[in-house]
Amino acid sequence: MSNNILDNLVDSVKKEAPQKKEEAKKSLIPEDNSVMGKLLQAANVDFPEIGDVLDGVVIDISPHSVLLDLGSFGTGIVYGKDTRDGLRGNTKLKLGDQVHATLTNLENEDGYIELSIREASYEKAWEDLESKKDNEEAVDTRVLDANKGGLMVEINGIGGFLPVSQLASEHYPRVEDGNKNKILEKLKRLVGQTLLVKIIDTYRDEEKLIVSEKAAMSEKEQVMISRLKEGDTIEGEVSGVVDFGAFVKFLPAGVKEGDDSIDGDKLEGLVHISELAWQLIDNPREIIKVGDKIKAKIIGIDEARISLSIRALAQDPWKEAQNKYEAGKVYTGKVDKINHFGAFVYLDANIHGLAHVSEFSEMYPGKKMEEMMEAGKEYNWKVLSIEPKDHRMGLVLVDDSLGAEVKEGKKSAKKEKSEKTEKKATKKVAKKETVKKESSSAKATADEKKVSFVN
């Protein structure tokens, strides 16, 4: 068969398909000449097909089936498990309920249109979830279970997942050492609770639903955050301490617990480890703990992230540093810690400086910092530079016990250098004398040859 003939045949089938479909639908109408038959044919009724979703009203319920009034299409029947859990969310059917049902058989052996509520309910449930996602609608969901990654929830009878990262700050499991078992223990406490969430991802084909409590809370938080501004001072309670700082819960100024306008929910901000105090801090837990009542200054607002500072409310000790310390003078200071680029030294409770390894090596050639100092001990330090505005101070160790040794070492090095220079100069002079003698000798020989030639 040629390609042209095949193409014409395909086009012909496509053109006839709609007409045959209509004829098939009309064939379901009794072909009689009765008044009712003629009325049905004249009405051009659009009969349903298998897979269509129909609306029906429950007119009878028995242990194994449910009858639905389908209006002009007659009576439909739902069998089996659909009669018990066809409606998602554990809802039971009752007389008079209006339901959606998927047509599975146009006419069974009992003459009924056979339907499935469960299948229709499933599709409607996903359509509703997708609509809520598109409209960014917040919904309530019940927590069914928990694992180390988050919470299992259910909406419209469809299981979903709420990742730990999408929990609101109120429910976020802060565990100091990051122990997964401790995180799971805190998440388990949420099982059975109802949370307000937003749907952030739907994958109907894969039957995956992802929700976020954080997204649902953001609108309420934005109302509260709008009352804040940088520079405000807040009073709050430390809600968590981690390696990089402390979390603080607080209410905006003028808002009280239980305020109906915003439900009295608290905001939460972070005090970074560098903003806890003016001194250097290695472990925040050494100076602050959960439950502490503190005051802090708002130093940054980025959408829902609030940055706080405790040290900003304390007087900057560096403002007086230039009056207390002077470059070129020696002061006593305690070594806080030593690392590969130098030692951090406190001259008082708040002022610290850096004794850089390069300065140390120049002052004490061949020596290592760890050999001459220990963290937690006091030594004498010479201030090389001081920059209060930038909170910087340069120091170098002054060790009197090694002074003679260092001086002797420098003296020896100087003498050795001098001797090398002297030897080099002597060699240079000797070389010049040799060249001069060789030149004179060559000239004398030339003169002798010249006289001999004349004679």
User: Among residues 403, 329, 343, which one has the least CA distance to residue 373?
Assistant: 343
420's tokens: 């090398």
Strand pairing category for 194-203 and 208-212: antiparallel
For 38-47, 134-143, 263-272, 302-311, which range has the lowest pLDDT when averaged over its residues? 38-47
Return the pLDDT at 115: 84
Return the pLDDT at 276: 92
Q: With H, G, I as helix, E, B as strand and everything else as coil, classify residue 198.
A: strand
Return the pLDDT at 7: 52
Q: Which residues 6+ apart lie within 8 Å of 385 measured at CB?
A: 327, 392, 393, 394
Residue 249 has pLDDT above 60, yes or no: yes
Return the pLDDT at 42: 57
The arithmetic mean of pLDDT across residues 47-61, rounded, is 82
Does residue 131 lie within any of the structural domains? no
Using 50, 70 and 90 to split pLDDT, how confident is the model at 421?
A: low
Domain boundary among 87, 119, 151: 119
Residue 262 has pLDDT above 70, yes or no: no
For 249-258, 292-301, 393-402, which range has the lowest pLDDT when averaged over its residues? 249-258
Chain centroid to CA 20: how far? Answer: 58
Does residue 179 lie within any of the structural domains? yes
356-388: pLDDT as tens digits = 988 888 888 888 888 888 888 999 999 999 888
Buried b (16+ CB within 10 A) or exposed e, 408-445: eeeeeeeeeeeeeeeeeeeeeeeeeeeeeeeeeeeeee
Task: Mark whether 157 and 213 lie in a shared domain.
Answer: yes
Residue 440 has pLDDT above 80, yes or no: no
Q: Which domain holds residue 164?
A: 136-217
Distance (Å, whole) CA 331 – CA 355: 13
State how far the alpha carbon of 293 is from the alpha carbons of 169, 288, 449, in Å. 18, 10, 110
E-strand ranges in 5-149 read 53-61, 65-69, 75-79, 98-105, 113-116, 138-147
Does residue 240 lie within any of the structural domains? yes
Does residue 225 lie within any of the structural domains? no
Task: Mark whether 207 and 240 lie in a shared domain.
Answer: no
For 101-115, 135-149, 421-435, which range has the lowest pLDDT when averaged over its residues? 421-435
Distance (Å, whole) CA 24 – CA 306: 67
Average pLDDT, the chain: 77
Task: Mark whether 87 and 142 lie in a shared domain.
Answer: no
2-17: pLDDT as tens digits = 445 445 544 554 455 4
**Is pLDDT larger for residue 243 or for residue 322?**
243
Does residue 196 lie within any of the structural domains? yes
Does residue 26 lie within any of the structural domains? no
The strand pairing partners of 152, in sequence order, are 145, 161
Return the pLDDT at 121: 66
Task: Mark whether 338 and 397 lie in a shared domain.
Answer: yes
Distance (Å, whole) CA 279 – CA 336: 10
Task: Mark whether 294 and 269 lie in a shared domain.
Answer: yes
Distance (Å, whole) CA 321 – CA 100: 78
Match 């002054």 to its residue by tokens: 398
Task: Mark whether 254 and 302 lie in a shared domain.
Answer: yes
Task: Mark whether 112 and 76 lie in a shared domain.
Answer: yes
Residue 309 has pLDDT above 90, yes or no: yes
Terminal CA-to-CA distance of the chain, rounded, Å?
129
User: Among residues 281, 342, 285, 347, which one has the least CA distance to residue 317?
Assistant: 347
Task: Mark whether 273 and 329 lie in a shared domain.
Answer: no
Residue type, 367: K
Does residue 146 lie within any of the structural domains? yes
Tell me if 73 sits within 8 A of 57, measured CB to CB. no
Return the pLDDT at 300: 92
Residue 211 has pLDDT above 70, yes or no: yes
Return the pLDDT at 199: 92
Domain boundary among 119, 144, 176: 119
Q: How many domains does the chain have?
A: 4
The arithmetic mean of pLDDT across residues 257-275, rounded, is 72
294-303: pLDDT as tens digits = 999 999 987 6
The arithmetic mean of pLDDT across residues 308-322, rounded, is 87
Domain boundary among 313, 335, 360: 313
Does residue 230 lie within any of the structural domains? no
Residue spans of alpha helices (H) in 72-116: 82-85
Residue 402 has pLDDT above 70, yes or no: no
Using 50, 70 and 90 to split pLDDT, how confident is the model at 409?
A: very low
Return the pLDDT at 280: 81
Task: Mark whether 153 and 83 lie in a shared domain.
Answer: no
CATH number at residue 399: 2.40.50.140
The strand pairing partners of 195, in sequence order, are 141
Task: Mark whether 75 and 145 lie in a shared domain.
Answer: no
Task: Mark whether 245 and 306 lie in a shared domain.
Answer: yes
Tell me if 334 sits within 8 A of 279, measured CB to CB. no
Task: Mark whether 153 and 193 lie in a shared domain.
Answer: yes
Using 50, 70 and 90 to split pLDDT, how confident is the model at 93?
A: confident
